[in-house]
Chain A
Amino acid sequence: MEPSDILKILKDEGFDEAVVSTSSTRSIYIKIANSKVDSIVEKKNERGRLFVSKEKKVAFSNIERPDKQSIKLAILNLKQAINIAEPKPDYYGIAEGPFKYRSNFIFDKKISEISIEEASEIANQAISEFDVENIAGTLHLSSYTYSIATTKRVEASTMGTEARLSLRIFKNGFSMQDYIASRQLKEIDVSKIKNSISMLEYTNDTGKVKSGKYDIIYMRSPAGLLFSNVNDMACIDSVEMGSFLSNKLGDKIANRDLSIYDDGSIESGIDSSPFDEEGYPTQRTPIIKNGILKSYLHNYSTAKKYNTKSTGNAGLVNPSPNTMVLYHRKKKSLEKLISSIDKGIIVTNTWYTRFSNYLKGDFSTVPRDLAIYVEKGSPKFVIKNLGSSFGIGIRISDNILRMLEKTTSVVNDTTQSTSWDSDSYYYTPSVLVEEVNISTV
């Protein structure tokens, strides 16, 4: 059933507003381990979701599958949920349509129709490109259709595809991980990963570093993982709940050459969509522009609460970020950036980024793969503060507002990237952050 048909059924149930969405997805995950295709997971699902409001009470339910019986059950569940709920005093409704949407988002039919045999062949081909000790990774291919209808005259649908190759390469007792991600299969070019793992050539020389301050070059993936916290914490519900961005609108909070955007409208962006979860058109929103905190992220209801406009970030109750885009006016080649460092570390991958204080922005994160010590403008050795085989043994412990202020230049290498530790994508270059606190084992 189409969302508009389901909406007709809901209209007689006495709710003030309703949003109906349905989706159909197919995903393939090919796991690579020990330099072989290890196993394959394929998923096919057809689901739906309902949101309703009544006298400022709000409730959700899911549609188990798109048939009449499931819809009937979903409506019963909704009624129970909304009867139990209390009014949400700061709820102001859903966006009033109709809207015009951009329609240039890429859909790659090859991904949606690919067979398991063809997909496993791509993975095997990628493995064969490397002459190293060990490769692990994932080839992920997925496609979806998503439709929405609301009681506020929204009726829209979109389609999307995703291809992501993640490879972790082990050589000389060290490892590097990189990602290629696109809406198009033809963009999954293994040579891009081959180029980025060329740093493994530095592994002939190893050494230890001491705890202290270092200039850090975060390569794209860890840069995105760190700074996407800005977009998470710019969502108005995070701001209300205590974020390092709370009460700072209009303040200078970052380097004057740094801007961070939330953008759901990038045509090649895997997380992009013409509209958000209430059908409001997505857009590019400056969160930080030239160092100044410009905007929080809103849906229609929260925007109305704060007398501003939606930024296309519904989340029907709580806004959610689209894609983080980081821009910096000072760009250099990676070589020039390295040559500008007196004492620093190139960090190629991080994980376990955790905040000990959301309000202040104190955090720590752990370099997971290759980290290279740089001295007087040249890479000196690969850091090995741990005796065990692939461990690095250093930790970054600092403050994200300080990171934003101390991001003084970037590499001209922006591309769509992600991390195993993230469920979203980001467009970010590799960045230089000065005087970062490092602790060691």
Chain B
Amino acid sequence: MQEYEGIADYAISYGLKQGFDYVEAYLESGGSFSYSRKQGNPNSSYKSKYSGIRLRLIKKGSLYTYSTNIISKERIKEAFKFSGFKGEKVGLSEEKAEKYSYKVKERIKVEDSYESAVKDVEELDKSLNGLAYRSISISLGKYENLFVNSEGSRVYSEIPYISSFILIIVKDANDSRQKLIQLGNTGGYEVFKWEEIRDNIEEEINSLKKVLKEGISLSKSQINGIKNVVASSEIIGIAVHESIGHPLEADRVFGREAAQAGTSYLMPSNLGLKIGSKEVNIFDDPTIKNSYGFFLYDEEGVKARKKQLVKKGIQNELLLNREYAKALGTKSNASSRSDFYSNEPIIRMSNTYLEKGKADFEELISEAKNGIYIKSFTEWNIDDTRSFARYQGNEAYIIKNGDIEKPVKNYKLEKSTFDFWSSVYLLGNDFNLYAGTCGKGEPQQGVPVMHGGPSALLKFGGK
């Protein structure tokens, strides 16, 4: 990285001399090791190293992003031939010029852990022996980034990470159940607690087998008749991400993603919309230590902070970058990210969650009295405006007279966004975050995120 710092600085000074209104340079260097196994056998191993530079330039209000892996003055000069275009005129909010450097601490360095990763994956794989189908992949690496801009910001970061995908499928003569588990954290190799991971996966397998063997199928009218739903933190997490986080991204609200990742039920004309019950407080916070969506400064050099997206059921902050902060006459809340140096930074979530409450899990179940407990999901989807989502239950149980009873094979939680969040009645005192890869933009960018919250009782028939 150090060898290219001079090129980044050169880009800023050269761009200003060429009369550009704004210039930023973003250097990225990374390396990773990946290993995968399928059906109990090794599949492949991959070790990579890359670096590149991205310039974002504004000339007469026109926004242009140029990226290359050939980090040279010649290539930089090429970018500054840009002369503007007929179209949108972009401005950026005024922000403090930041000078900061940070590295995420590693007790066990990821680059010293490749052999350990292979051994740990092998051990996990052995414990899955006997399943109908299984695959495991792991990736560990490090991103190094330097951001400089023509306003004097200079932010350096070094973030190690580990991620893994585990697919398990159980099967009997007539049916099967599947689960794709994604794990992800930032930090050294120590952040993956393998014993805990193995225990959790064993529990998932036992649950899949139980639903497969004992699960009953409900009729459509029985499903429609269910009014009280206890949703686990896994269900709450995906709902927070899909139906709150995405629609509160300012670029969607203002139509910039309309042909790509979509629109939003929230529009410039209905900001401050009531979305849920007064129990609903939702945050996005990139500063959570070791989280998969961790960062301290975003890719416009703005200092990250915890944002409250929904306050007592009312839409509060949007996720903002400098462009949309300017449009709204406010400051950016540091939500600008890309998945790779070569793509443009756009507004993204980080770690998004529903604030927990005080109720014990048993209290949620007894308060539900009759209904369903949905513990995990398989497929899910949501419409373009983020108004109509479905979470297909993977593991769900009937609640009868305040007790958890038989498992259910085919429960689908299919509700409008406003029904879902307005029905939040009681919040659990548990709390979990789940790793995910969030897609947006064109070309599609997948960034690491987390989503979660507590278990919650939702009463769809009112109180």
> Which listed residue (B41, B261, B379, B385) contacts A354, Cβ 8 A?
B379
CB of B383 within 8 Å of the partner chain: yes
Query: Chain A contacts of B415 at CB under 8 A?
Result: 441
Determine whether the beta carbon of B63 is less than 8 Å from that of A441.
no
CB of B18 within 8 Å of the partner chain: no
Query: Chain B contacts of A90 at CB under 8 A?
Result: 41
Select the stretch in B290-298, B302-310, B386-394, B430-438 that faces chain A: B386-394
Give B379-409 interface residues, CB cut-off 8 Å to A.
Answer: 379-385, 387-388, 390, 392, 394
Contact with B along A18-43 (1 / 0, CB 8 A): 00000000000101111011111111
- With A59-B44, A354-B379 already in contact, the answer to whether A33 and B256 are too (CB < 8 A) is yes
Instruction: Please list the residues of chain B having a beta carbon within 8 angstroms of any beta carbon in chain A.
Output: 33, 35, 38-39, 41-52, 62-70, 75, 79, 82-83, 85-88, 90, 114-115, 118, 122, 132-133, 135, 167, 169, 171, 175-178, 220, 254-263, 265, 267, 342-344, 378-385, 387-388, 390, 392, 394, 412, 414-416, 442-444
Determine whether the beta carbon of B132 is less than 8 Å from that of A43.
no
Determine whether the beta carbon of B258 is less than 8 Å from that of A134.
yes
What are 21 A-B contacts defined by CB distance under 8 Å?
A39-B90, A41-B67, A43-B67, A43-B68, A57-B42, A81-B45, A88-B43, A90-B41, A134-B255, A177-B259, A241-B135, A242-B169, A358-B169, A359-B176, A364-B392, A366-B382, A367-B383, A389-B265, A423-B444, A441-B387, A441-B415
Contact with B along A132-170 (1 / 0, CB 8 A): 001011101000000000000000000000000011101
CB of A420 within 8 Å of the partner chain: yes
Determine whether the beta carbon of B259 is less than 8 Å from that of A420.
yes
A353 to B382 alpha-carbon distance, docked (Å): 10
Query: Chain A contacts of B388 at CB under 8 A?
Result: 366, 386, 391, 393, 395, 441
* CB-nearest residue of chain B to A27: B443
> Which listed residue (B50, B83, B263, B381) contacts A366, Cβ 8 A?
B381
A239 to B266 alpha-carbon distance, docked (Å): 42
Looking at the assembled complex, report how far the CB atom of A79 sits from the nearest CB atom of chain B, in whole angstroms.
9
CB of A249 within 8 Å of the partner chain: no
- With A62-B48, A134-B255 already in contact, the answer to whether A39 and B344 are too (CB < 8 A) is yes
Query: Chain A contacts of B65 at CB under 8 A?
Result: 39-42
Query: Chain A contacts of B35 at CB under 8 A?
Result: 84-85
CB of A237 within 8 Å of the partner chain: yes
> Which listed residue (B38, B47, B392) contacts A240, Cβ 8 A?
B38
CB of A187 within 8 Å of the partner chain: no
CB of A191 within 8 Å of the partner chain: no
Determine whether the beta carbon of A88 is less than 8 Å from that of B42.
yes
Select the stretch in A116-124, A259-267, A277-285 that faces chain B: A116-124
* CB-nearest residue of chain A to B442: A138
Contact with B along A375-405 (1 / 0, CB 8 A): 0000000000010111111010100000000
Looking at the assembled complex, report how far the CB atom of A47 sits from the nearest CB atom of chain B, in whole angstroms.
7
Determine whether the beta carbon of B64 is less than 8 Å from that of A85.
no
Determine whether the beta carbon of A138 is less than 8 Å from that of B259.
yes
Query: Chain B contacts of A308 at CB under 8 A?
Result: none
Query: Chain A contacts of B90 at CB under 8 A?
Result: 39
Give A49-105 interface residues, CB cut-off 8 Å to B.
Answer: 57-62, 64-65, 73-74, 77-78, 80-82, 84-90
> Which listed residue (A64, A80, A88, A362) contacts B47, Cβ 8 A?
A80
Looking at the assembled complex, report how far the CB atom of B273 sits from the nearest CB atom of chain A, in whole angstroms.
10
- With A36-B87, A167-B259, A388-B387 already in contact, the answer to whether A116 and B82 are too (CB < 8 A) is yes
- With A78-B47, A368-B262, A423-B444 already in contact, the answer to whether A390 and B87 are too (CB < 8 A) is no
Determine whether the beta carbon of A120 is less than 8 Å from that of B86.
yes
* CB-nearest residue of chain B to A32: B259
A145 to B46 alpha-carbon distance, docked (Å): 24
Determine whether the beta carbon of B63 is less than 8 Å from that of A39.
yes
CB of A365 within 8 Å of the partner chain: yes
Determine whether the beta carbon of B64 is less than 8 Å from that of A116.
yes
* CB-nearest residue of chain A to B175: A360
- With A46-B69, A138-B259 already in contact, the answer to whether A389 and B39 are too (CB < 8 A) is no
Determine whether the beta carbon of A136 is less than 8 Å from that of B379.
no
Determine whether the beta carbon of A42 is less than 8 Å from that of B64.
yes
Query: Chain B contacts of A130 at CB under 8 A?
Result: none
Contact with B along A161-187 (1 / 0, CB 8 A): 000001110100001010000000000
Query: Chain B contacts of A46 at CB under 8 A?
Result: 69-70
* CB-nearest residue of chain B to A393: B388
Listed residue (A89, A116, A360, A365) with the most chain B CB atoms within 10 angstroms of its CB: A116
Query: Chain A contacts of B83 at CB under 8 A?
Result: 117
Query: Chain A contacts of B132 at CB under 8 A?
Result: 242
CB of A318 within 8 Å of the partner chain: yes
Looking at the assembled complex, report how far the CB atom of B62 sits from the nearest CB atom of chain A, in whole angstroms.
8
A36 to B88 alpha-carbon distance, docked (Å): 6
Determine whether the beta carbon of B442 is less than 8 Å from that of A240.
no
Query: Chain A contacts of B135 at CB under 8 A?
Result: 241
Looking at the assembled complex, report how far the CB atom of A133 sits from the nearest CB atom of chain B, in whole angstroms.
11
Query: Chain B contacts of A333 at CB under 8 A?
Result: none
CB of A317 within 8 Å of the partner chain: yes
> Which listed residue (B33, B45, B382) contacts A352, Cβ 8 A?
B382
> Which listed residue (A44, A60, A74, A386) contacts B75, Cβ 8 A?
A44
Determine whether the beta carbon of A40 is less than 8 Å from that of B169.
no
A354 to B115 alpha-carbon distance, docked (Å): 35
The 4 closest A-B pairs by CB, nearest first: A37-B87, A352-B381, A136-B258, A354-B379
- With A37-B86, A124-B86 already in contact, the answer to whether A366 and B259 are too (CB < 8 A) is no
Determine whether the beta carbon of A168 is less than 8 Å from that of B87.
no
CB of A232 within 8 Å of the partner chain: no
* CB-nearest residue of chain B to A240: B39
Determine whether the beta carbon of A44 is less than 8 Å from that of B379.
no
A369 to B66 alpha-carbon distance, docked (Å): 32
Query: Chain A contacts of B261 at CB under 8 A?
Result: 420
Query: Chain B contacts of A166 at CB under 8 A?
Result: 259, 442
A321 to B62 alpha-carbon distance, docked (Å): 39
Determine whether the beta carbon of A136 is less than 8 Å from that of B46.
no
- With A352-B382, A356-B379, A420-B260 already in contact, the answer to whether A37 and B255 are too (CB < 8 A) is no
Looking at the assembled complex, report how far the CB atom of B222 sits from the nearest CB atom of chain A, in whole angstroms.
14
Determine whether the beta carbon of B41 is less than 8 Å from that of A88.
yes
Query: Chain A contacts of B443 at CB under 8 A?
Result: 29
A185 to B151 alpha-carbon distance, docked (Å): 40
* CB-nearest residue of chain B to A61: B47
Query: Chain B contacts of A211 at CB under 8 A?
Result: 220
